[in-house]
Amino acid sequence: MIYLKAAVVWLIVAVVAVFAVSSSGMIEVAANREHSGPVGWILETAREASVERQAASIDVPELDSPDMQLAGINDFDAMCVGCHGGPGKERSSAGRGLNPIAPDLATVATERTAAEIYWATRNGIRMTGMPAWSASHDDQSLWPVVSFISMRLPDLDSAGYAAMLEGATGHGHHSGDSGGHTEGDGESHEHGNGADQANDPAVPATEEHDHSTHEH
Ligand code: HEC
């Protein structure tokens, strides 16, 4: 009985302490400071374990069709490069300010399975800048990006990437958006625009809407 009372008292003390610390304003939230060692470790370990566990039950479709990869590079260039960077491509000004910084996906592709890449892309990662792309894209648009990242990206240098991107005109729903709309990329999904442009030989698709080189 006495142990039970002591346990209840400690529980109340713990709840009050958590409330006091949370509302004191002392927990650091600035993105330009690092997490303390233990907090960073907990978050990273939890993310890796969670993604691995949830990706285990995903059925991965065939990913080695060249058409799929061509659609994937266009979408990767329009949707991912701003934060993650790419071969010969710097992160955008917004991407450089993220904490945690978005990792180089060529390296990620060598460490994670396609199912894990798909899971993170589709669902996002809470409390980081990684968006849930399921909010705006269905599986038909997401698997090509995963296929490109997982099967092609690790082998591309900047020249290879530029050449593949040029050859991808007309593939994928972001064809024609290249280089743009990477900072948030919310409004460009009224499908069609990019593709129409890409099909029109008079319009140099990869040079339209290029905000990626804009620096302050
Ligand atoms: C607005 C910025 C932003 C955009 C745009 C973005 N990401 Fe991310 N992404 C992040 C951040 C930040 C992380 C790191 C999260 C972490 O470390 O916990 C991340 C993590 C990931 C991971 C997990 C990496 C790992 O180590 O397991 C994958 C996979 C990923 N992103 C894929 C994509 C793909 C594919 C796209 C484009 C469709 C994309 N991201 C677009 C910010 C972004």
- Asked if residue 14 belongs to a domain, the reply is no
Structural domain span for residue 197: 73-207
Atom of ligand 1 nearest to the CA of 133: 38
- Asked if residue 174 belongs to a domain, the reply is yes
Answer yes or no: are the C-beta atoms of 8 and 16 closer than 8 Å: no
Q: How far is the CA of 66 from the centre of ligand 1 (A)?
A: 24
- Asked if residue 21 belongs to a domain, the reply is no
- Asked if residue 18 belongs to a domain, the reply is no
pLDDT of residue 177: 63
CA-CA distance, 3 to 163, in Å (whole number)? 71
Q: How far is the CA of 202 from the centre of ligand 1 (A)?
A: 34
- Asked if residue 4 belongs to a domain, the reply is no
Task: Find the residues whose C-beta lies inside 6 A of ligand 1.
Answer: 47, 51, 79-80, 82-84, 95, 98, 100, 102-103, 105, 108, 112, 117, 120-121, 125, 128-131, 133, 145, 149
Q: How far is the CA of 86 from the centre of ligand 1 (A)?
A: 12
Q: For the chain, which residues score pLDDT lower than 50? A: 179-213, 215
- Asked if residue 168 belongs to a domain, the reply is yes
C-alpha 101: how far from chain center = 11
pLDDT of residue 181: 39
- Asked if residue 40 belongs to a domain, the reply is no
Q: In this predicted model, what pLDDT tens digit does every residue of 98-125 receive, in sequence order? A: 999 999 999 999 999 999 999 999 999 9
Domain count, the chain: 1
- Asked if residue 30 belongs to a domain, the reply is no
Query: Half-sphere exposure of 86 toward its Cβ, with a 13 Å CA cutoff?
Result: 26
Q: How far is the CA of 38 from the centre of ligand 1 (A)?
A: 22
pLDDT of residue 36: 82
Exposed e or buried b per residue across 180-197, where buried means at least 16 C-beta atoms within 10 angstroms of its C-beta: bbbeebeebbeeebbbeb
Tokens at 81, concatenated: 């490069």
Q: In this predicted model, what pLDDT tens digit does every residue of 184-215 receive, in sequence order? A: 444 444 444 444 444 444 444 444 444 444 54
Answer yes or no: are the C-beta atoms of 211 and 184 closer than 8 Å: no
pLDDT of residue 48: 94
Helix/strand/coil for 77: helix
pTM above 0.85, yes or no: no
Q: How far is the CA of 194 from the centre of ligand 1 (A)?
A: 23
Phi then psi dihedrals of residue 25, to 5 deg: 80, 5
Q: CA 141, 92, 118 angle in degrees (round to 5)?
A: 30
